[in-house]
């Protein structure tokens, strides 16, 4: 039975397997990802120094913003860690933009492109 499961799973490429939850962080800024309807996207952003990330904008109804909360990890003395949660709803393409408040040195917004298929 185990051999059958291993054989069946080895026949799929990574692009065919649907990820239920995708986790991103500051290093994902500027990238594009592909998801399927129902997938959740968690974006954890760390601010170093003053300021914090603000309410995101989503360019289309393909992605729904679920909410923002402090990240569950222990606090970081360098600045706040915030968790932004999204859900892929319908096929299409959306850009997620999460702006940052201005401190002494402006922090660029976090931006990703999401293809939902």
CATH, residue 105? 2.60.40.2020
32 within a domain of the structure (yes/no): yes
Domain containing 45 equals 18-116
For residue 12, what pLDDT band results from cuts at 50, 70 and 90?
very low
- The number of folded domains in the chain is 1
Instruction: List pLDDT tens digits, range 36-86.
Output: 999 999 999 998 878 889 999 999 999 999 999 988 777 677 778 999 999
For 24, residues 6+ apart whose C-beta sits below 8 A from its C-beta are 31, 33, 41, 42, 43, 44, 112
CA dist., res. 111 & res. 86, Å (int):
13
pLDDT at 11 over 90: no
Phi, psi of 100 (to 5 degrees): -120, 140
13 within a domain of the structure (yes/no): no
């Amino acid at each position: 039975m185990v051999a059958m499961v291993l054989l069946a799973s080895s026949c799929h490429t990574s692009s065919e397997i649907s990820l239920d939850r995708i986790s991103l962080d500051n290093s994902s800024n500027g990238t594009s990802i592909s998801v399927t309807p129902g997938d959740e996207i968690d974006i954890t952003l760390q601010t170093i120094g003053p300021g914090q990330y603000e309410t995101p904008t989503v360019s289309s109804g393909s992605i729904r913003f679920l909410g923002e909360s402090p990240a569950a990890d222990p606090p970081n003395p360098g600045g706040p860690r915030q968790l932004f949660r999204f859900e892929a709803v319908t096929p299409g393409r959306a850009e997620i933009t999460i702006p940052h408040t201005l401190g002494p040195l402006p922090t660029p917004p976090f931006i990703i492109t999401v293809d939902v298929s």
